Amino acid sequence: MHRLYANRMAVLDGLDMSYTVGSCSVCGFYYADQLPDSTVYERYYRAASKYDLGVAVSGVDQERFRAAVEICEAQFAKDSLIVDIGCGYGAFLNALSEAGWSRLAGVDPAPQAPIRALELFGLDSVQCATMARAHLSAPLADADVVSVMAVLEHLPQLRQNMADLLVKLRPGCKLLVEVPAVEWFASDRSEPFGEFSLEHIQFFTARSLCNFFEQLGARTMHVSTVELPAIHCGTLFGVFEWSGHLQPLHEVVPDTGHLLETYVRDAHSTMQRALSRVPPSPLVVYGAGSHTARLLPQLGSPSACEVLAVVDKNPNLVGKTLGQWVIQEPATLQGYPEVPVVISSYRAQAEISRQLSAQWDNPLILLYETPE
């Protein structure tokens, strides 16, 4: 393994999800090493995940789903039975339904996912299950298409997890796969190290995605990247046909683009500029996600500030600990009048700033130039 970056994170409610990013010295695949045990990830998704809290489908997700539906319309018949693994609250299943598919099912480990899918979209075919137990809750053996969108990048045992899924499918079953596109990581307007989140531990280029599935016995039918301008990055889609046999279709084609190396270098520069905006004084941090988990260990230098509190509006996080702090709800700010608030978010800092300004008089510290 060629080591690229030590992704040190504050401990979330007793879960240390730090890891090291590196690349395979043979094929060039980018992945996280020195991971916590898989049970840590299971605890995280059940206790702290935000993926079952959907109220409305974001603009970014609408763009993703539009692109995915276009691929489906070109690749799959409308009478196909489609099972969505990691479906969240069913937004993509709803997009498929609106596009004319009716034989749909989904599973997600988030406990509230089935309830939210029913409330938001009237979907009664979403079940709570892990990927390993999806076959007990969804008709995988009969599926024509299995969708695994925004899933692979989360899997600590990637090859084993996908092999276990594939052997439950019939030969000829198609897989619709979506992952963050490393090709778009190096944007000069992206969150520094934002792709190295608490949850993202596998990193794909188009070449490495094809390598991965072809080594498992799935033939590449389609691969494309789609730009997501609103968040200054992109997503990678692939369609693969399962052969029915866990054996390589051909030799690996090495990925030699060195794209993640460029991303790490640029992200380091952006993070240093952000840290220079933090004053050496007591402050409150707003946000308790991956950005803050990465920020807190770095606040001792050069700013040497004192963090009085960490607040977040996600009810799944409030009351849990992040580092040495108990995450508190936004109303806590009334106890810290005039204390500067660091908005610990890249993509949402403008909206958070507007919300806080409307309710509180605290000085607000934005870490980044607001993207145009």
CB 118 within 8 A of CB 54: no
| Average pLDDT value for the chain | 92
pLDDT digits (tens, 9 = 90+) for 324-361: 999 999 999 999 999 999 999 998 999 999 999 999 99
pLDDT digits (tens, 9 = 90+) for 8-35: 999 988 889 999 999 998 899 999 999 9
Q: Which domains does the chain have, with CATH numbers?
A: 35-252 (3.40.50.150), 276-366 (3.40.50.720)
| DSSP class per residue in 34-102 | SPPPHHHHHHHHHHT--TT--SS--HHHHHHHHHHHHHHHHHS-TT--EEEET-TTSHHHHHHHHTT--
Give dist(CA 267, CA 344) in Å, integer. 16
pTM of the model: 0.86
Query: Per-residue pLDDT for 143 more than 50?
Result: yes
Please enumerate in sequence order all residues whose Cβ is within 8 A of that of 181, keeping only pairs 6 or more positions apart, or say none.
204, 205, 206, 225, 226, 233, 234, 235, 236
Alpha helix ranges (H) inside 76-175:
91-98, 113-121, 158-166
pLDDT digits (tens, 9 = 90+) for 269-292: 999 999 999 999 999 999 999 999
pLDDT, average across residues 41-69: 79
Please enumerate in sequence order all residues whose Cβ is within 8 A of that of 174, keeping only pairs 6 or more positions apart, or say none.
75, 76, 144, 145, 146, 221, 239, 240, 241, 242
